[in-house]
Structure 1
Amino acid sequence: MSRTTRGSSIELHWPSQLTCYTECIEMELEAVERNNQRNEAGYETPPAPAAATATSLPQAELTRARMFKLSSAAFCFFNAGVNDGALGALIPYILDEYLISTAWMAIPYGVGFVGWLAIAVFGGYIRMKTGTGGVLLIGAFLQFAAQLLRFWVPPFGLFSVTFFLVALGQALQDSQANTFVAGLKNAHRYLGLIHGCYAIGGLVGPLMAAAIASNLDGQWAAFYFVPLGIGAVNLALCLYAFRDEVRMPPRLVAGSEGQQAGEQRHSTTALVELRATLKLRPVWLLSVFFFLYLGAAITIGGWVVEFLVEVRDGNLSNIAYIASAFYGGLAAGRFLLAEPTFRLGEWRTFLAYVLVALALEIVFWQVANVAVDAVMVSFIGFLLGPAFATGVSVGSQLIPSELQASGLAMIFVVAQAGGAIFPAITGVIASRAGVGTLQPIVVGLLAATVVSWALVPNPRRKIA
């Protein structure tokens, strides 16, 4: 059986970069949960102190123990970056192995989104039952289990299921690692560090994947021994660093009125919070922005290899490395552009970044030169690098502090939908009209991203 069209895609990590305000909300919710558990167990609860505002809660100093936890959180993101970044370089080999067209890549994208959506719905419940350490351990184990299923080249259906497991694990670790780091003193620096580690993983992953797949004829799946080993280290680090934050679920007492009342309180509070969040205009505007931005970013990073092979007639063993150029630019942008973006004004500066990225994408489209294309891809990644940090920072100024946790959760679920839908649509179109359709699709997405960001209110102008 032969095929005439191949596709490449990539699963991009959902960096739900929570702010310090979000961490404060999490701390307050955990305190309420602990008090509820003590009441249901028959303990006497001391009088509650005066309610603290989100900004009044102190940030934690970086002690030796927290340094280990910070290192573990950073490694969580590096682990995710290696997994996500490698897929773009491996997809041509995967399509050859399973004899499928690019349209079939809608399946891994779809099941990955379902995993993220599941944690958006049930993640809070899991955290209340197992604690921060428990959530991180579960997330690390799920990703490790997914890699165990990949290296022996399972049937495509089971291979697709591994994307669901990875999405579950990444979503669990993403949220809790962000929440922990956001509670540290000088959190903006450490948030940049952990998300930079993701981009470094995204840079390293394609390099290793391309080297293994091109040098071991027919043994591309041997690459998955690499994330399997990294996943084992991730699991061990989480177990050691967060061992004091693992909470075993309390034994439920059948028919307990206190338990039933507590469950009812949680359900009512969650419903009220959701309704209030859905009424916020900035939440919807930022959701549209991230929906388009993440769709554009994943489509670029995932399809660039296949485009250069099919349209530019590049050699796959060499072109596969160009997937790292995008992530290299992404990493550099996250480390180098955060401070100047903040000082020059986040809203207008990022608008300029996206406009320049759009211009570079048009150059990529029109100039049929692989070397030029590689440079353009790296600069596009560089300019899009600070998107998540900037979007969350602007959102924290537009969304009321008491609704930021639920607001950001909704924003990132919608973002992940964009990251799943647009690459899948690109694959379907490419299977019918050719991979050359990538460029007009990406140009359209970046243009729409510019418009969507322009519609987001400028916090400085609003305050003024």
Structure 2
Amino acid sequence: MGLEAGQLSSPADQSHGLPLNDLSKSGIEELAPVETAPSNAVAVSEATEITFPIAMKLSSACFAFVTAGINDGSFGSLVPYILAGYDIGTGSVAIIYGVTFAGWVVAAIIGGYVRVYAGSGGALVLGALVQLLAQVLRVWKPPFALFCISFFLIALGQAFQDSNSNTFVATVKGAHRWLGLIHASYSIGLLIGPFVATAIATSGSGRWPLYYSFPLGLGVVNLVLVTWAFRDDIALRRSVIGAGGEAVKSSDTVWKETKATLQKKVVWLLSMFYFFYLGAAFTAGGWLVEYLVTVRNIKLSTAGYIPTAFYGGTVLGRLLLPEPTYRFGERRMLLLYAVLCCALEVVFWRVDNLISSTVAIALMGFLLGPNFATGMSVASKLIPKEIHASALGLIFVVAQAGAAIFPAITGVVAANAGVGTLQPMLIGVLIAMGLSWALVPKFDDKNE
């Protein structure tokens, strides 16, 4: 999920277009698949340039992120209808966030095995297939327990696609721009989701489950596109060849990558940044409509569209801010954005005016926009390339912990103290986000 979920694995061999050079330096043997690489596989040196196969993979990644954004962005607008449709309280929403987090945890545990056994293409295809299954379960308004399980499947599928896509895009020339593009695609999905969800949900009593036929159709396209674009990266194997020419079990390979990842301090520091970043983004997006309806007494038919201001700002931020953020220094610019976001959140909280609140939430989305892609860009500089895939898997699961924990806590607290507690909680999470970014080590940046 990313808010957003985004909001952010790859193959463990060169035939999949990811540079795994000098693995012996980190105690991991250099790996290559036992099978002969397909003739149309993209070599490491080619993956840095924008060729037609690379462009199609980038297009597939963008569409996958749009699909994920549409799914995640619609949830906040549908919360009031879900509560009424299943006759449950706000505390029950914590269950949905909990099973979503469980999906990311499972993906972190098995993601490395899926990647090594099936290749990055296989992991991407599996991710698209699992998400499609989840939408099939939702569209007919299943029992609440099964509805919750669909969020587990969505998270599992998104985790496979997000981590593999981010790792691939990080190898392309001008990665900071392309990372900005794929995460802007996610935000475009976030922008579209509330419009479609609100339009369908308000068209008649009990019609909100029909919304899921929209992401269901997109899921079919996503599955076809990713299968075609990454067809050369699908490889089923039980073992790989080590540097000495001997066969190495795939499970041993995964364990070595995981061990090296867990020992990297920078991985944990970046994980904490994403923990608070996604916590803030998902809490704002998930509870904004309920806050406006309950505290500000805004009509539900109007409030359902307000999250589009936040998501629209995020789209523009991810499209327009990556370049100046990169040029003026990624470290200092994200610290500045965090301070400004805190100020805007105070304005939103204290000024009870729909127009000023909408502008404040849109500007906050704009300034939060480049955070995800910038974090991925910094990760590509600080984390050894040979463990990028497993490192991103760990970062994403910690990030999704924030995306699940903070909105869930908000729901539980709101059930007792009211939804008005959303604002002070958001300010606290934003401050923690800025502090955690300040702890990330300095990196090789000409502007630092």
TM bucket by the smaller chain? 0.7 to 0.9
The SS at the match of 1:154 is coil
Q: Counterpart of 1:236?
A: 224
Q: Counterpart of 2:329?
A: 345
Shift of 1:10: 9.5
Q: Counterpart of 1:225?
A: 213
Q: How far apart, in 1, do the equivalents of 2:272 and 2:315 lie?
A: 24
Q: How far apart, in 2, do the equivalents of 1:386 and 1:171 lie?
A: 20
1:459 paired with 2:443, answer yes
Q: Is the 8 A contact 1:10 1:301 kept in 2?
A: no
Q: How far apart, in 2, do the equivalents of 1:185 and 1:213 lie?
A: 43
Q: Which residues of 2 match residues 405-424 of structure 1 at below 5 A? A: 405-424=389-408
1:325 paired with 2:309, answer yes
The SS at the match of 2:211 is helix
Task: Note closer, same or farther for the CA distance 1:155–1:289 as it changes in structure 2 (3 Å cut).
Answer: same
Q: Counterpart of 1:426?
A: 410
Deviation digits for residues 159-196 of structure 1, max 9, x if unmatched?
A: 00000111111111112222333333333332222211
Q: Is the 8 A contact 1:89 1:206 kept in 2?
A: yes
Q: How far apart, in 1, do the equivalents of 2:209 and 2:303 lie?
A: 18
1:34 paired with 2:33, answer yes
Deviation digits for residues 75-109 of structure 1, max 9, x if unmatched?
A: 11111011010111001100011111111111111
Shift of 1:125: 1.4
Task: Note closer, same or farther for the CA distance 1:135–1:400 as it changes in structure 2 (3 Å cut).
Answer: closer
Percentage of pairs with the same residue = 52
Q: How far apart, in 2, do the equivalents of 1:282 and 1:463 lie?
A: 20
Letter in 2 for 1:376: A
Which stretch shows the higher mean deviation, 335-344 or 105-114? 105-114
Q: How far apart, in 2, do the equivalents of 1:150 and 1:70 lie?
A: 29
Deviation digits for residues 279-334 of structure 1, max 9, x if unmatched?
A: 43322322222211111111011111100000000000011001111111111111
1:354 paired with 2:349, answer no
Letter in 1 for 2:33: R
Q: Is the 8 A contact 1:143 1:166 kept in 2?
A: yes
Task: Note closer, same or farther for the CA distance 1:30–1:101 as it changes in structure 2 (3 Å cut).
Answer: farther
Q: Counterpart of 2:373?
A: 389
Task: Note closer, same or farther for the CA distance 1:395–1:185 as it changes in structure 2 (3 Å cut).
Answer: closer
RMSD: 2.9
TM-score after normalising by structure 1: 0.84
Could you tell me which of 20, 27, 31 is aligned with 1:25? 20
The SS at the match of 2:20 is helix
Q: How far apart, in 2, do the equivalents of 1:93 and 1:288 lie?
A: 33
Shift of 1:269: 5.0
Q: Counterpart of 2:121?
A: 133
The SS at the match of 1:262 is strand
The SS at the match of 1:321 is coil
- Unpaired runs of 5+ in structure 2? 37-43, 240-245
Q: Which residues of 2 match residues 286-297 of structure 1 at below 5 A? A: 286-297=270-281
Q: How far apart, in 2, do the equivalents of 1:123 and 1:310 lie?
A: 40
Q: Which protein is bigger by CA-based radius of gyration?
A: 1
Q: Which residues of 2 match residues 57-456 of structure 1 at below 5 A? A: 57=45, 59-249=47-237, 262-263=248-249, 266-456=250-440
Letter in 2 for 1:34: P
The structure with the greater share of residues assigned to helix is: 1
Shift of 1:133: 2.7
TM-score after normalising by structure 2: 0.87
Letter in 1 for 2:20: I
Could you tell me which of 8, 18, 28 is aligned with 1:16? 8
Q: Give the paired residue count.
A: 427
- Unpaired runs of 5+ in structure 1? 1-8, 39-55, 252-259
Deviation digits for residues 40-77 of structure 1, max 9, x if unmatched?
A: xxxxxxxxxxxxxxxx9553433333333322221111
Deviation digits for residues 351-389 of structure 1, max 9, x if unmatched?
A: 010100000001111011122111111111111111112
Shift of 1:430: 0.3
Q: Is the 8 A contact 1:10 1:87 kept in 2?
A: no
Q: How far apart, in 2, do the equivalents of 1:284 and 1:352 lie?
A: 22
